[in-house]
Amino acid sequence: MSKKIKKPWPTKDVMNQIYDMKLWGGSTFDFYSGTGSHDPKIINPYLNALITFLDAFTTPPVVCDLGCGDFNIGKHVTKYTKKYVAIDIVEKLIDRNKNLYKEEHLGFHCLDITKDELPSGDCIILRQVLQHLSNAEIQEIIKKIDAYKYIILTEHIPLGNFIPNKDIISGQGIRIKQNSGVNILEAPFNFKIKYKKTLDEHILEHNNGRIVTTLYQVF
């Protein structure tokens, strides 16, 4: 008799469970998006690079934050934008963010970025989001993001050479244990860009890879 293969949970359910069970840590927080969103050694250089980029615009850009999480990072960036649209798949998290962060040009929306239509804008931020998604879900996002001129993408990837884009089931984990990481320019995504630049790179301890932020100009 063949074993019955379990279907993976919908990503929305997985992400709700991660926050409900505090699988990314933060036992004293109501919602916690992990050390990558809270460790000053990681987030301060990232914020400096991001703010430098945004502050260089003559007219502040409209920014869409796809996977805004607990907004511990986004709250520092809003004042450098004309409009800041923060999106996450976890409804309770979005409701909490709406209550905590109130600015006239800031909006929070509960959307599944793999399925729902995305707001228009000049620039998107995708910070350590794709690394948790299957290739099929990343592919759905890739189809949409070429509408934005700038993409600021942060991914946790291995040190040195690695095989990009090994597939995973969407969830808490990432590809690092398979000596892999997301590279949207490589197969099966083959995303086309005009220009790219590394904005920030943080080497993690214990040979646990690096967190790299890359600016892509699409057109």
Whether 4 maps to a domain, the answer reads: no
Whether 2 maps to a domain, the answer reads: no
Length of the chain: 219
Between β-strands 106-110 and 62-66, what pairing exists: parallel, antiparallel or unpaired? unpaired
Give yes or no for residue 7 having a pLDDT over 90.
no
Query: pLDDT per residue over 26-58, tens digit each?
Result: 988 999 999 999 999 999 999 999 999 999 999
Residue 143, token pair as written in the block: 């189809």
Whether 6 maps to a domain, the answer reads: no
Rounded CA-CA distance 112/141 in Å is 10
- Three-state secondary structure readout of 63-93: EEEECCCCCCCHHHCHHHCCEEEEEECCHHH
Give yes or no for residue 3 having a pLDDT over 70.
no
Q: Which of 61, 183, 190 lies closest to 119, judged by CA?
A: 61
Structural domain count of the chain: 1
Residues spanned by the domain of 201: 11-217
Give yes or no for residue 5 having a pLDDT over 50.
no
| Domain at 98, CATH number | 3.40.50.150
The mean of the pLDDT values for the chain is: 94
Whether 166 maps to a domain, the answer reads: yes
pLDDT band at 8 (very low <50, low <70, confident <90, very high): low
Question: What is the 8-class DSSP label of residue 97?
Answer: H
Rounded CA-CA distance 14/9 in Å is 6
